[in-house]
């Protein structure tokens, strides 16, 4: 009886093969969850390190801005910096929550081969949050760069039409990506972000270069020309670093490397905030030694 039972092909497949495939599925899920948690731990540690550096820089920027409180643009710079700090803090907290969820997932998969529904919903919510925070943060930093361009161009509103259009288009596509994560949305968003940054960098650096060339006919002072060169270098370097970071996200999204893309997204917020905050600190410290009208123009 026992021999004839095991001779039936259907019964043999059910008893011997199905548990084997279930075991392989469980092992594969555990390996995937463990790899995800490992990468998230690396990203969390790196983002926490960058956040510590950024937060100290933010506090110093608030101190330097308080010394010139009431001057043109100080309220806007302070409020924008505070919004960036809140978003960066939210990004770090979300990264920490993701690590906790990953740990619970690994622990749960060690006893069950399937992903529990509540944890699956949590992961989807965290992924959406991690895409929404960089989108909002990018809009805030773009407003800061847009304001800088606005001041450098002597408060001419018409000069803002093109970069503002690119900026709002980037934000709109970013919202699309939050609601329905797709490769097409990510590629369009990153291309628009690079285009926005290149436009603002070109307009701002070009205007400062023109001012620096025209200044010797009005102010025969090499110190001011040196300040113009330093300002151009800072603008070009920050713009180049921004484009390099966005280019990395574009490449990882295009090759469908989801984990590398998520790690890049986690690190993008503190890196994006460090660049403009450093510029604020540099300008404020420079103006502390030079309160001339030309120095204030460099804001």
3-state secondary structure 275-290: HHHHHHHHHHHHHHHC
Would 8 be classed as within a structural domain? no
Mean per-residue pLDDT over the chain, rounded: 75
Would 208 be classed as within a structural domain? yes
Comparison of pLDDT for 69 and 58, the residue scoring more: 58
79-93, pLDDT tens digit by residue?
999 999 999 999 889
Provide the pLDDT confidence category of residue 64 given band limits of 50, 70 and 90: confident
Would 18 be classed as within a structural domain? no
Residue 180 belongs to a domain with what CATH number?
1.20.1070
Nearest alpha-carbon partner for 154 in 203, 93, 89, 95:
203
Give mean pLDDT, residues 202-206.
90
Which residues span the domain enclosing 110? 26-297
Would 9 be classed as within a structural domain? no
82 vs 86: CA distance, rounded Å: 6
Looking at residue 14, its pLDDT comes to 36
194 vs 166: CA distance, rounded Å: 10
Consecutive H or E run containing 270: helix 258-289
173 vs 189: CA distance, rounded Å: 6
Would 30 be classed as within a structural domain? yes
φ and ψ at residue 224, rounded to 5 degrees: -70, -40
Length of the chain: 299
Nearest alpha-carbon partner for 290 in 208, 210, 228, 235:
228
Would 6 be classed as within a structural domain? no
52 vs 263: CA distance, rounded Å: 18
Give mean pLDDT, residues 2-22.
39
Would 17 be classed as within a structural domain? no
Indicate the burial class of 95 (C-beta count within 10 angstroms; 0-12, 13-18, 19 or more). buried
Give mean pLDDT, residues 247-276.
77
C-beta of residue 146 within 8 angstroms of C-beta of residue 167: yes
Range list of β-strands (E), the chain: none
Looking at residue 15, its pLDDT comes to 35
C-beta of residue 269 within 8 angstroms of C-beta of residue 87: yes
70 vs 145: CA distance, rounded Å: 20
Domain count within the chain: 1
Would 11 be classed as within a structural domain? no
């Amino acid at each position: 009886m026992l021999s004839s039972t095991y001779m039936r092909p259907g019964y043999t497949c059910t008893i011997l093969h199905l548990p084997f495939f279930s075991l392989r599925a469980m092992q594969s899920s555990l390996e995937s969850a463990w790899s995800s948690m490992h990468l998230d731990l690396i990203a969390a540690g790196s983002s926490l390190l960058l956040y510590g550096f950024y937060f100290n820089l933010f506090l110093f920027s608030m101190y330097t801005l308080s010394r010139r409180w009431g001057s043109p643009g100080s309220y806007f710079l302070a409020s924008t910096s505070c919004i960036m700090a809140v978003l960066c803090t939210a990004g770090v907290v979300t990264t920490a929550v993701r690590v906790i969820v990953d740990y619970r997932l690994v622990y749960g998969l060690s006893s069950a081969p399937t992903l529990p529904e509540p944890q699956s919903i949590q992961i989807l919510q965290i992924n959406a949050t991690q895409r929404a925070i960089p989108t909002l943060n990018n809009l805030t930093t773009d407003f800061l760069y847009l304001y800088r361009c606005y001041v450098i161009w002597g408060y001419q509103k018409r000069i803002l039409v093109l970069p503002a259009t690119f900026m709002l288009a980037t934000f709109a596509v970013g919202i699309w990506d939050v609601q329905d994560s797709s490769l097409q949305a990510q590629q369009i968003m990153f291309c628009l972000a690079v285009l926005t940054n290149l436009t603002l960098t070109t307009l701002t650096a070009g205007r400062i270069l023109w001012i620096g060339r025209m200044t010797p006919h009005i102010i025969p002072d090499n110190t001011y020309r040196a300040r113009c060169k330093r300002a151009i270098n800072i603008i070009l370097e920050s713009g180049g670093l921004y484009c390099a970071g966005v280019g990395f996200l574009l490449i990882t999204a295009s090759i469908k490397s989801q984990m590398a893309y998520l790690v890049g997204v986690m690190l993008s917020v503190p890196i994006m905030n460090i660049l403009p905050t450093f510029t604020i600190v540099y300008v404020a410290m420079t103006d502390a030694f030079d309160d001339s009208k030309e120095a204030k123009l460099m804001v």
